[in-house]
Structure 1
């Protein structure tokens, strides 16, 4: 079995330096940190024989690593996971990856060293050696919300293609033709899926897909505001902006209001992800609602099955369109 001394020898540093890197100490230089983590990956090192302890020493704890704790979707998802885990007798330890592979790996490594019984992971776009090794070793792992290509891991996620198609048909029926999209990053499965579903729905409805109306963001408010600014600066701006998540929608709202534009009279707005405060805006925002509570429940149940060495299949739930008044709907419009 690989030891910490082996890692230190491979990286050309002291055992104490390896320990500081693995504990995410800020006193280590970036170059040294990179060298040590490369040695860890190459040697497949895990402290305290974690791979074996996960199978033999139940701690009744589950690790959850999410993309961004500031994103209301992940906040609600974490709460759903915690509630379901408690009913099954588990406690949750949460790590916020902040959409960064290095932070994701830090929390995955830390949680494994703390001997959690299993991991729920909302993976970043990059397939890191640590995540690949965790899959290879057969540790109890379930992907939540997102997938990674080429890795055979049970996944619990929502399919929004049908809801996006319903939204585009709804917009067409309201008379909209110039429909733009601010999607998430193409490197993330959720970003790709929503963009592909949007363009497919536009074509199915006989509406033109204009490259200048396709903006890519990063699921952060700043990118939503920047994308909305570019769209509204076009010689022929869109009459609807469909935003790929709640934080980017917040940024788009800021930009629309900063310009003194009215929703939906000057520009209509729709969002993927239905946030609680959407109903309190004037007008309330038309949105695609993911079954967040059910996602959390099903993910915990799937992981519990994996911890018990039972076969687990992936789960795909369905998102739905919630019609309000931000796209020019009449007063009293209800769910589509």
Structure 2
């Protein structure tokens, strides 16, 4: 009788083969998803493996396949709830695929990003998922030169045809500003992110698209650049009020920026949305519970992480059976209307 993990010897493929009445080679092919095994035999082998509490030796298997069953995840800001939800989708899907993750936080710093990626490559991860800081494409080019499988998260570089999973940021911004216009607003202040950020550039384009559709002239002074944090939103509203800008609505690069904007507006004695409507972007969990509940653009953050993992797995395994293609996958945004706009 084979001994399970509670005994002194782990269950082997030979044990499963003996119990199932098939060859060791059949057991190996059934458990590794090879195509030349009947469904009945595969089901039998899997049932026996489960009954015997078989646990594959990931290290030995990795050595045979020249893999580590580990992927690196390089995130621009783990304190940002947007990325926390993306990582949740990554970790859950990687686990289902039999992979572990190593998480690195760059805090939007290009040098930290470069060090993190080089460390992960030295650790021989099978692939990398990365939300790039975007001050430079140097790290992406390094991965391309080293032939390391990778997928970009939420951001991309114009002119570089590399795998990425992103939100349709231009369309999301257009829908958000169109909602404000439909509510009667014409003086719409936009608090945008850093200009080197691909999402910031696309959301600015969407903002301009919505104004043009409504016959509203674009005014450069109505666009203020922030650092994409709540402190940036707070400072931008103070700047706008001190500069005498007149506006009845504020569209923000992110929900985080919106929170800072709301605080500054309230301190100025303005009511939301009676005096100023506020629209965010991302739809993080906090957006639904702040006061007033934030109207925003929903980004499928968990799905973004899930799709990215499956894309990366297809690249690692060289499989054409994966549904997600290697290229750019663009997720569709939705406007979520709550109390603030």
Report how far residue 177 of structure 1 moved: 0.9
- Asked if 1:302 is matched to 2:302, the reply is no
Could you list the runs of 5+ residues in structure 2 that have no partner in the other structure?
1-61, 321-325
SS at match of 2:184: coil
- Asked if 1:142 is matched to 2:170, the reply is no
Cα deviation, 1:274-328, whole Å, max 9, x if unaligned, reads: 121222233211100101111011000000011113462321111110011212x
Cα deviation, 1:34-71, whole Å, max 9, x if unaligned, reads: xxxxxxxxxxxxxxxxxxx9996211111000111111
- Asked if 1:246 is matched to 2:255, the reply is yes
1:283 corresponds, among 278, 292, 307, to 292
SS at match of 2:302: helix
- Asked if 1:315 is matched to 2:329, the reply is yes
SS at match of 1:272: coil
For the 8 Å contact 1:284–1:326, the answer to whether it is kept is yes
The runs of at least 4 aligned residues of structure 1 exceeding 4 Å deviation read: 53-56
The Cα RMSD (Å) is 1.9
1:258 corresponds, among 267, 270, 288, to 267
For the 8 Å contact 1:181–1:213, the answer to whether it is kept is yes
Residues 275, 130 of structure 1: CA spacing in aligned structure 2 closer, same or farther, 3 A cutoff? closer
Which protein shows a greater Rg?
Answer: 2
- Asked if 1:210 is matched to 2:219, the reply is yes
Specify the alignment match of 1:165 in structure 2.
174
Aligned pair count? 275
SS at match of 2:216: coil
Give the TM-score of the pair, scaled to structure 1: 0.78
Give the TM-score of the pair, scaled to structure 2: 0.76
Report how far residue 168 of structure 1 moved: 2.1
Specify the alignment match of 1:227 in structure 2.
236
Residues 168, 126 of structure 1: CA spacing in aligned structure 2 closer, same or farther, 3 A cutoff? closer
SS at match of 1:108: helix
Cα deviation, 1:144-196, whole Å, max 9, x if unaligned, reads: 11102332311111103333222222212211111010011110111111111
CA distance in 2, matches of 1:255, 1:187: 26
For the 8 Å contact 1:64–1:94, the answer to whether it is kept is yes
- Asked if 1:57 is matched to 2:66, the reply is yes
Report how far residue 243 of structure 1 moved: 0.6
Specify the alignment match of 2:26 in structure 1.
none
CA distance in 1, matches of 2:150, 2:64: 13
Could you list the runs of 5+ residues in structure 1 that have no partner in the other structure?
1-52, 328-336
Report how far residue 246 of structure 1 moved: 2.1
For the 8 Å contact 1:105–1:131, the answer to whether it is kept is no
